[in-house]
């Protein structure tokens, strides 16, 4: 077999010939979890040096033995590479290869220590023993029943995963999605996918119509079949929901579905009728226009409106509060002198069962909430505080001195059933429920929360309506305010102490459509705008700011204290590219390293949780630091606010590096220092509430590194495409007729 060490062969001739290269994977340089594209360094037979292989493959780990079919190519940038048309993972046959394979971390409970012992004891027959007679592993000193069970289970799981992965990849499914499918269906994955690939879009979070459609096409399902049209209609509605919309006019639904599916409108209309008949969709007519909802979103809007209307009725749980006396007592006990607007707000909240407090930073929301709680606690002790995220709940606890929980914890989420233990049949034990950061709460979660609030209780919603709306569908806080059904306190006055912060002053300037003022003079400020003319220049300045200038000048730790917030995930200034660069600069020498799902993790890395994991009590957007990696046990430990959480290597698709995160992911969090890159390449996302949200995340320092045109666009652009929701209308109607 010709190899790259064959210096006598002409490169051009070598590039034309199909060959097979076999060898052991030494390093996974790159792996794309979506399409399986990999760059591998392998120790090939007949070659003195490591060989670079590029091609598509299932998940591969160092130590695995592969056979690649393809041809040699001379890449201008990276030199001679083997471009593989196909990569097959095969079990190694040599003792050295088997030892590396078992030590790779693929088999939980083995690791390098026991891999060496197993090969020494059983030689090249160890894989057969794992297959047919695993009890013999008990002959190895240190392997007891518990470890044997762990190894056996992991070995069987790896075999099943490999078979399922090969099947799914042969039908166009990327690695990350294949793992989600496996985690949901386990050994039934192949059967389930074969029977109805479109069920994937219903059963598995993160698996959409496009993935299912790719599989369906390869399984022979007709392009214009009704089952495809039904799934396509749901997909269009789900895509709109992921953009925040709860409903869509029929005309738009038909047009977008027909265009996306490349089928005729009559087939789409038939599919809409079938899905409506199955109660997967709900039809309403508003102002003479037909609109359609996904059933869960329609139900959530209806329940939210009804629950709020019901809560507005009746008397407050507390009685006999003398407002003037309460204001005097607050001043005597805390030294706080409430402003006239805060006194009016206090009176409004204390005389209504449901109310909203909204306003930007520095306008006294926290002071007002504390004053309200101080008054009410003298009348009742059953007050519950909550917020959408762990970090927001922690901040609420710190500002009030009372326990605050995430909404999921408050409602007692049950991971076994996928629902909440608290609801209309088992309401919360409370006289008052306070929800902070309400702008982050989507319509589904709000409906679940309100169903658990007892009829006797009062409700206080607190939030900044000018921030980004929730990641999930709906515009709950904005809609409640717009309904005019719930009393609203709008705080606008910036208090003297807060006005000393240029972060707060400039946040309000941005919210008013004005360009933020830059720091002047030599004195240190908490807000800077650094002008840059090109994305490349922004990148260079950002790296220097985070790794050198801010730590040197302000004393902030570059990993713990500084957070880069960027509008996008993709591109040179997106979170993915910036994370790779910042990891290399700030933690590149850390060992050991584990490579999974296209990311490399090391102790000391800052990471973010990408999905809600109720078993671990870690939620989407939570940021922590990797404290340990155990290659023997194939486990990684992350510290989330001094709480260690363990992840198996197979669970690392839930984590991503977090030196840089998207602005959307930062909602509800605060960081000592924030660095925000803004370039015209972000133009589709540049809008006022995005930059406003980013700026208000910084506590001690905000640095914007921007092309002037991009910053101006972000500040002046108020997005016209408002989310299509009907909560405001439903709430207005329900409040006018609370008992229909």
How confident is the model over 347-388, as pLDDT tens digits?
Answer: 898 889 999 999 988 888 888 898 899 888 887 779 999 999
Please state the pTM of the whole predicted model. 0.74
Is the model more confident about 205 or about 640?
640
**Distances, alpha carbon 721 to alpha carbons 240, 468, 689, 713, 717, in Å:** 12, 13, 13, 16, 11
CA dist., res. 392 & res. 501, Å (int): 21
Residues in the chain: 740
**Distances, alpha carbon 383 to alpha carbons 390, 602, 728, in Å:** 19, 42, 27
How many domains does the chain divide into?
Answer: 5
Is residue 339 assigned to a domain?
yes
**Among candidate residues 243, 266, 296, the one where a domain is terminated:** 296
Q: 524-555 pLDDT, tens per residue?
A: 899 999 999 999 999 999 999 999 999 999 99
Handedness of CA 500, 502, 507, 512 (dihedral sign): positive
Segment 255-270 shows an average pLDDT of 95
Is residue 21 assigned to a domain?
yes
CA dist., res. 711 & res. 713, Å (int): 5
Q: 13-54 pLDDT, tens per residue?
A: 444 567 888 888 888 888 776 566 889 988 887 677 888 999
Is residue 566 assigned to a domain?
yes
- pLDDT of 411 reads 95
Binding residues: 362-366
Q: Is residue 286 domain-shared with residue 423, that is, in the same domain?
A: no
Q: Is residue 82 domain-shared with residue 133, that is, in the same domain?
A: no
Question: Helix 340-350 crosses helix 365-377 at what angle (to 10 degrees)?
Answer: 40
For residue 286, what is the enclosing H or E element?
Answer: strand 281-286
Pairing of strands 37-44, 51-56: antiparallel
CATH of residue 655's domain is: 3.40.50.300
Q: Is residue 76 domain-shared with residue 114, that is, in the same domain?
A: no
Per-residue tokens: 199: 């069920």
**535 DSSP β-pair partners:** none
pLDDT at residue 145 tops 70? yes
Question: Helix 365-377 crosses helix 323-334 at what angle (to 10 degrees)?
Answer: 110
- pLDDT of 1 reads 43
- pLDDT of 610 reads 86
CA dist., res. 607 & res. 596, Å (int): 14
Q: Is residue 459 domain-shared with residue 514, that is, in the same domain?
A: no
Per-residue tokens: 577: 């590219």
Pairing of strands 562-566, 660-662: parallel
Q: Is residue 200 domain-shared with residue 158, that is, in the same domain?
A: no
Q: Is residue 534 domain-shared with residue 485, that is, in the same domain?
A: no
> For residue 89, what pLDDT band results from cuts at 50, 70 and 90?
confident
Q: Is residue 477 domain-shared with residue 370, that is, in the same domain?
A: yes
Q: From the centroid of its chain, how far is CA 118?
A: 40
Binding residues for ATP: 362-366
Q: Which of 231-235, 343-347, 642-646 has the lowest mean pLDDT?
A: 343-347
Contacts of 658 (CB under 8 A, 6+ apart): 563, 579, 606, 607, 608, 623
- pLDDT of 233 reads 94
Q: Which of 146-155, 248-257, 701-710, 717-726 has the lowest mean pLDDT?
A: 717-726
pLDDT at residue 295 tops 80? yes
CA dist., res. 82 & res. 732, Å (int): 66
- pLDDT of 492 reads 84
**Among candidate residues 170, 201, 232, the one where a domain is terminated:** 170
Other Cβ atoms closer than 10 A to 523? 6
Is residue 406 assigned to a domain?
yes
Q: Round to the nearest angstrom and report the end-to-end CA distance of the chain.
A: 82
Q: Is residue 613 domain-shared with residue 697, that is, in the same domain?
A: yes
Is the model more confident about 405 or about 201?
405
Is residue 3 assigned to a domain?
no
Instruction: Name the maximum alpha-carbon separation found in the chain.
Output: 98
CA dist., res. 600 & res. 29, Å (int): 9
Is residue 718 assigned to a domain?
no
Contacts of 593 (CB under 8 A, 6+ apart): 600, 601, 602, 629
**Distances, alpha carbon 425 to alpha carbons 309, 384, 539, in Å:** 19, 18, 54
Is residue 5 assigned to a domain?
no
Q: Is residue 181 domain-shared with residue 160, that is, in the same domain?
A: no
Q: Is residue 486 domain-shared with residue 620, that is, in the same domain?
A: no
Mean pLDDT computed over every residue of the chain? 87
DSSP class of 555:
-
The b-or-e profile of 530-569 (16+ CB within 10 A means b, else e) is: bebeebeebbebbbebbbeebbeeeebebbebbbbbbbbb
Phi, psi (5° rounding) for residue 664?
A: -60, -40
Q: Which of 273-287, 484-498, 601-615, 647-661 has the lowest mean pLDDT?
A: 484-498
Contact 3, 44 (CB under 8 A): yes
CATH of residue 81's domain is: 2.40.50.140
- pLDDT of 8 reads 42
CATH of residue 235's domain is: 1.10.10.2220
Q: Is residue 645 domain-shared with residue 578, that is, in the same domain?
A: yes
CA dist., res. 224 & res. 326, Å (int): 69
Contacts of 699 (CB under 8 A, 6+ apart): 503, 670, 671, 672
Q: What is the CA radius of gyration of the chain?
A: 29
Sole residue written with tokens 């090109």: 534
- pLDDT of 34 reads 58
Which residue segment(s) compose the domain that 189 sits in? Answer: 176-296
Is residue 115 assigned to a domain?
yes
Q: 173-182 pLDDT, tens per residue?
A: 665 667 677 7
**Among candidate residues 473, 494, 515, the one where a domain is terminated:** 494
Q: Which contacts of 642-646 are long-range, i.e. CB under 8 A and separated by 24 or more positions?
A: 645/616, 645/618
Q: Is residue 690 domain-shared with residue 570, that is, in the same domain?
A: yes
> For residue 518, what pLDDT band results from cuts at 50, 70 and 90?
confident
The string of DSSP letters for 608-636 reads EE-S-BTTTTB-TT-EEEEEEEETTTTEE
Of 207, 227, 206, give the one whose Cα is nearest residue 216: 227
């Amino acid at each position: 077999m010709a190899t790259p060490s064959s210096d006598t062969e002409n490169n051009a001739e070598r590039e034309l010939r199909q060959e097979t290269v076999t060898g052991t994977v030494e390093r996974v340089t790159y792996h794309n979890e979506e399409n399986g594209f990999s760059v591998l360094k392998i120790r090939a037979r007949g070659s003195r040096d490591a060989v670079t292989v590029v091609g598509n493959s299932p998940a591969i780990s160092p130590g695995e033995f592969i056979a690649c079919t393809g041809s040699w190519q001379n890449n201008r940038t990276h030199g001679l590479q083997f471009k593989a048309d196909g990569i097959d993972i095969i079990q190694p046959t040599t003792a050295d290869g088997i030892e590396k394979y078992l030590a790779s971390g693929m088999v939980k409970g083995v690791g390098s220590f026991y891999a060496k012992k197993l090969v020494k004891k059983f030689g090249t027959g160890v894989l057969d023993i794992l297959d047919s007679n695993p009890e013999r592993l008990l002959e190895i000193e240190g392997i007891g029943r518990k470890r044997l069970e762990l190894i056996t289970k992991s070995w069987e799981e790896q075999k099943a995963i490999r078979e399922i992965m090969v099947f799914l990849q042969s039908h166009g499914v990327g690695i990350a999605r294949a793992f989600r499918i496996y985690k949901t269906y386990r050994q039934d994955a192949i059967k389930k996918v074969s029977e109805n690939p479109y069920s994937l879009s219903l059963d598995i979070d993160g698996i959409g119509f496009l993935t299912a459609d790719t599989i369906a096409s390869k399984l022979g399902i007709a392009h214009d079949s009704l089952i495809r049209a039904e799934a396509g209609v749901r997909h269009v509605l789900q895509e709109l929901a992921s953009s925040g919309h709860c409903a869509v006019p029929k005309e738009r639904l038909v047009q977008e579905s027909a265009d996306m599916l490349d089928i005729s409108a009559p087939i789409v209309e038939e599919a809409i009728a079938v899905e409506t008949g199955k109660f997967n969709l709900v039809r309403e007519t508003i102002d003479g226009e037909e609109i359609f909802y996904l059933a869960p979103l329609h139900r959530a809007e209806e329940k939210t409106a009804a629950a709020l209307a019901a809560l507005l009725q009746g008397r407050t749980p507390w009685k006999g509060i003398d407002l003037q006396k309460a204001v005097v007592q607050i001043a005597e006990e805390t030294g706080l002198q409430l402003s006239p607007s805060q006194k009016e707000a206090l009176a409004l909240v204390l005389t209504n069962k449901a109310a909203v407090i909204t306003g930007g930073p520095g306008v006294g929301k926290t002071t007002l909430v504390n004053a309200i709680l101080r008054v009410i606690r003298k009348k009742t002790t059953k007050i519950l505080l909550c917020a959408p995220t762990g970090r927001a709940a922690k901040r609420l606890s710190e500002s009030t001195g009372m326990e605050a929980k995430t909404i999921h914890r408050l409602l007692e989420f049950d991971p076994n059933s996928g629902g909440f233990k608290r609801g209309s049949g088992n309401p919360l034990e409370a006289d008052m429920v306070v929800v902070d950061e309400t702008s982050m709460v989507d319509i589904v979660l709000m409906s679940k929360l309100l169903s658990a609030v007892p009829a006797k209780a009062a409700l206080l919603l607190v939030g900044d309506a000018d921030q980004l709306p929730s990641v999930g569908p709906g515009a709950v806080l904005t809609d409640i305010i717009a309904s005019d059904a719930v009393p609203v306190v709008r705080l606008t006055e910036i208090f003297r102490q807060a006005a000393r912060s240029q972060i707060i002053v400039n946040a309000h300037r941005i919210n008013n459509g004005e360009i933020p003022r830059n720091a002047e003079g030599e004195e240190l400020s908490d807000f800077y705008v650094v002008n840059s003319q090109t994305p490349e220049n922004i990148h260079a300045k950002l790296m220097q700011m985070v790794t050198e200038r801010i730590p040197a000048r302000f004393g902030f730790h570059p990993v713990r204290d500084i957070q880069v917030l960027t509008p996008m995930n993709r591109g040179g200034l997106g979170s993915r590219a910036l994370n790779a660069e910042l990891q290399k600069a700030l933690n590149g020498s850390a060992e050991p390293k584990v490579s999974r799902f296209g990311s490399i993790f090391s102790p000391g890395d800052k990471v973010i949780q990408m999905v809600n994991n109720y078993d671990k009590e870690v939620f989407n957007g939570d940021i922590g630091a990797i404290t340990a990696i155990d290659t023997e046990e194939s486990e990684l430990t992350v510290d989330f606010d001094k709480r260690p959480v363990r992840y198996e290597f197979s669970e690392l698709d839930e984590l991503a590096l977090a030196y840089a995160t998207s602005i959307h992911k930062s909602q509800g969090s605060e960081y000592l220092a924030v660095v925000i890159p803004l370039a015209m390449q972000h133009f589709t996302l540049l809008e006022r509430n995005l930059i406003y949200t980013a700026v208000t995340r910084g506590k001690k320092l905000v640095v914007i590194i921007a092309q002037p045109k991009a910053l101006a666009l972000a500040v002046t652009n108020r997005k016209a495409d408002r989310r299509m929701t009907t909560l405001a209308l439903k709430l207005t109607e329900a409040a006018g007729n609370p008992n229909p």
